[in-house]
Amino acid sequence: MQLLTHVPVIPLEPPISYQAKVFSMGSCFAEHMSEKLRYYGFDSDANPFGIIFNAISMQRLVARIVQQQAFTEADIFFHNELWQSYEVHSALSSTEASTYLANLNAQLIATRDCLEKATHCIFTLGTSWVYTHQGNVVANCHKVPNSQFEKKLLSAEENQIALQKIKDCIHQINPNLQFIFTVSPVRHTKDGFTENHISKGNLLQAIDNVQQSTNDYYFPAYEIVMDELRDYRFFAADMIHPNSLAIDYIWERFSTHAIESSCEPIMKELAEIKRALHHRPQHQNTQAWAQFQHQLEQKIANFKQRFPDILLEQ
């Protein structure tokens, strides 16, 4: 008896291996997947400028990164005792303008280096709803009064143009990069329930259009949550964000279809080591605990000897 509908997932070709370098940008879901990759020892970086929800803000950042357009005082403003930029997340904000600019520009250099070396780039789109300030789409409103912004819905075509510009821009410095697109399963219900579906539909249409006649990969995270995990036990207390159980399920689907099968036994061994590292005994001053630590140290040394390039300490 089949009690749910399985969303078909196409295998990624070529799959992610331990030689891969993965860069992710987009919603909080992009960070969840990047955290999973790092946990299992893969070389993965995500959201150096914080969470970004819309394609146009991502495109502006990518252009700035690739072209090394430094942030200047004209790009920042002071609000709520912090220096902010409408192009990045508030997590990067600072009380000192000079420090803020220095950090932003250092990230530009580091992120270009990541993009130049990356083998795979994951873009997770959150919404087509955007806010504009003086005609420009913002990545974050930074709690500036609503009266300073206008809200609009990006069409499928506008999203598509932004995604194509992202691809074209990155291909200037890394022509062999493989793009992985996905739509965040987080529902933006504050925009309205119907409005959220329209927004996600525009994103899906844009990705589908960009994918035509290319080797871009689409992973159906949104569809898996909406069609396979159709139960609120898979959601956090806000009933909007997928919980850890859902994230683990999506990761399992992703790793099965997007990660090289030869990595599986290494991932399993690494997970066992990490679980042991996080183990906390009830009584530390025992012979059993000393033996446990000794055996764990041997396992770690053996692992590092066999896999010196795999990132264990993440």
Give 314's pLDDT tier (boundaries 50, 70, 90): low
When pLDDT is averaged across residues 209-228 and rounded to a whole number, the result is 91
Q: Which tokens go with 47? A: 């959201």
**Shortest CA distance to 62 belongs to which of 88, 28, 97, 101?**
88
Q: Which tokens go with 9? A: 């997932």
Alpha-helical (H) ranges within the chain are 28-39, 55-67, 97-117, 156-171, 193-211, 221-223, 244-258, 264-277, 287-306
φ, ψ of residue 120 to 5 degrees: the values are -135, 140
Euclidean distance between CA atoms 174 and 256, whole angstroms: 27
- Mean of all residue pLDDT scores within the chain: 94
CA 17, distance to chain mean position in Å, is 18
Strand ranges across the sheet with 129-133: 136-137, 129-133, 150-153
DSSP secondary structure code for residue 235 in this structure: B
Sign of the alpha-carbon torsion through 117, 70, 161, 35: positive
Give 260's pLDDT tier (boundaries 50, 70, 90): very high
DSSP secondary structure code for residue 309 in this structure: T
CATH number assigned to the domain with residue range 21-259, chosen from the 4 options 3.80.10, 3.30.70, 3.30.750, 3.40.50: 3.40.50
Tell me the residue length of the chain. Answer: 314
Q: Which tokens go with 219? A: 């992973």
pLDDT, residue 245, reads 95
When pLDDT is averaged across residues 68-78 and rounded to a whole number, the result is 97
Give 35's pLDDT tier (boundaries 50, 70, 90): very high
* pLDDT > 90? residue 4: no
Q: What is the pLDDT of residues 130-142, one digit of tens each?
A: 999 999 999 999 9
- Residue 57 carries which side chain, given as an amino acid letter? S
pLDDT, residue 129, reads 98
When pLDDT is averaged across residues 61-75 and rounded to a whole number, the result is 97
Q: What is the pLDDT of residues 158-209, one digit of tens each?
A: 999 999 999 999 999 999 999 999 999 999 999 999 999 999 999 999 999 9
Q: Which residue is associated with the tokens 């053996």?
A: 302
The pTM of this model reads 0.93
Residues above pLDDT 70, as percent of the chain: 99
Q: What is the pLDDT of residues 95-115, one digit of tens each?
A: 999 999 999 999 999 999 999
**Shortest CA distance to 139 belongs to which of 54, 78, 68?**
54
* pLDDT > 90? residue 89: yes
Give 28's pLDDT tier (boundaries 50, 70, 90): confident
Domain ranges across the chain = 21-259, 263-314
Euclidean distance between CA atoms 275 and 312, whole angstroms: 12
Burial class (CB in 10 A: 0-12, 13-18, 19+), 81: exposed
Euclidean distance between CA atoms 158 and 145, whole angstroms: 26
